[in-house]
């Protein structure tokens, strides 16, 4: 059987001084080409789950497998390499560097990639920026970009290394209706054409009917989303 791109098994995560676990034995499996949206009220743990899946933090117990490899307790050097080559991460607050222009920020996504040459990365960055309607803004620093433009730069930065798994925290939260649709279309095409797996958090499940599965996160676990319950 082909391994899932992401396999999350029984993970538990507690923040210090928080009485009940934020994630309480959570399971999730995403195959190549599949897309999954996580919904849930503010504070339910969506960003926490995404950070763990992005190897930015460790669960207390349980396991995370990436393309069949058990990575939960891998050495930090190995986890860094996987973050550079296999995972693209779009933060809820973008985390763009203020002193670099859009292109410079996107190129950061390729900086630690072991095989992507700078020239190739630069060409790919420009193509992707063009694809999301930002070819005229490549030289603008984040302070001169709208929230929606910054969000698109953050998405392109995550895509430049051609990740097997793209993780997006509220990827269309700051976008107008038509740009949000364009971003959803770009992400959908990446899943179907390149076999990329997509994991995203959203407050707006109604607009994500294009994904394969939607789960509600509550009580630290995932439940199949029922539109009426939201
Ligand atoms: N560093 C931290 N220390 C302690 N508690 C934290 C920390 N970060 C988050 N929390 C708490 O953990 C819970 C889950 O937070 P998380 O950011 O994962 O929620 P979320 O579902 O992404 O919310 P939102 O929809 O507002 O983005 C919240 O109760 C939050 O207050
Ligand atoms: Mg969040």
pLDDT tens figures, 101-114: 999 999 998 888 88
Distance 95 CA to ligand 1 centre (A): 17
The pair of three-digit structure tokens given for residue 163, joined into one six-digit string: 């990740």
Q: What is the pLDDT of residue 112?
A: 83
Distance 117 CA to ligand 1 centre (A): 37
Q: What is the pLDDT of residue 229?
A: 55
- Please check whether residue 198 is in contact with residue 168, taking contact to mean a CB–CB distance below 8 angstroms: yes
Q: Is 49 helix (H, G, I), strand (E, B) or coil?
A: helix
Nearest residue to 33 via CA among 219, 215, 192, 218? 192
Q: Which residues share a beta bridge with 35?
A: 198
Q: What is the pLDDT of residue 218?
A: 94
**CA separation for the pair 30, 4 (Å, rounded):** 6
For ligand 1, say whether the CB of 47 is within 6 Å of any of its atoms: yes
Q: What is the pTM of this model?
A: 0.93
User: In this structure, which residue's CA is closest to atom 27 in ligand 1?
Assistant: 42
Residues in the chain, pLDDT under 50: 230
Position in ligand 1 atom list of the atom nearest CA 170? 27
pLDDT tens figures, 56-77: 999 999 999 999 999 998 999 9
In the chain, at which residue ranges do the beta strands (DSSP E only) sit? 6-13, 23-30, 35-39, 61-66, 69-70, 87-90, 165-169, 197-201, 213-218, 221-224
For ligand 1, say whether the CB of 44 is within 6 Å of any of its atoms: yes
The pair of three-digit structure tokens given for residue 167, joined into one six-digit string: 């993780």
User: In this structure, which residue's CA is closest to atom 31 in ligand 1?
Assistant: 43
Q: What is the pLDDT of residue 230?
A: 46
Q: What is the pLDDT of residue 163?
A: 95
Expressed in angstroms, the distance from the first to the final Cα of the chain is 35
**CA separation for the pair 86, 176 (Å, rounded):** 29
């Amino acid at each position: 059987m082909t391994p899932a791109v992401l396999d999350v098994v029984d993970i538990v995560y507690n923040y210090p001084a928080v009485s009940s676990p934020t994630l309480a034995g959570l399971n999730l499996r995403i195959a190549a080409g599949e897309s999954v949206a996580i919904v849930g009220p503010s504070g339910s743990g969506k960003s926490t789950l995404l950070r763990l899946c992005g190897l930015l933090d460790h669960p207390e117990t349980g396991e995370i497998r990436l393309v069949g490899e058990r990575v939960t307790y891998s050495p930090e050097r190995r986890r860094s390499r996987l973050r550079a080559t296999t995972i693209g991460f779009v933060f809820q607050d973008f985390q763009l560097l203020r002193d670099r222009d859009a292109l410079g920020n996107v190129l950061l996504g390729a900086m630690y990639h072991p095989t992507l040459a700078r020239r190739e990365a630069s060409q790919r960055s420009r193509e992707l920026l063009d694809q999301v309607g930002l070819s005229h803004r490549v030289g603008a620093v984040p302070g001169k970009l709208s929230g929606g433009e910054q969000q698109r730069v953050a998405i392109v930065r995550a895509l430049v290394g051609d990740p097997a798994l793209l993780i997006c925290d509220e990827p269309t939260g700051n976008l107008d209706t038509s740009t949000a649709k364009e971003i959803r279309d770009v992400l959908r095409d990446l899943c179907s054409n390149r076999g990329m797996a997509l994991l995203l958090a959203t407050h707006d499940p109604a607009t994500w009917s294009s994904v394969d599965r939607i789960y509600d996160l509550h009580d630290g676990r995932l439940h199949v989303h029922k539109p009426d319950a939201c």
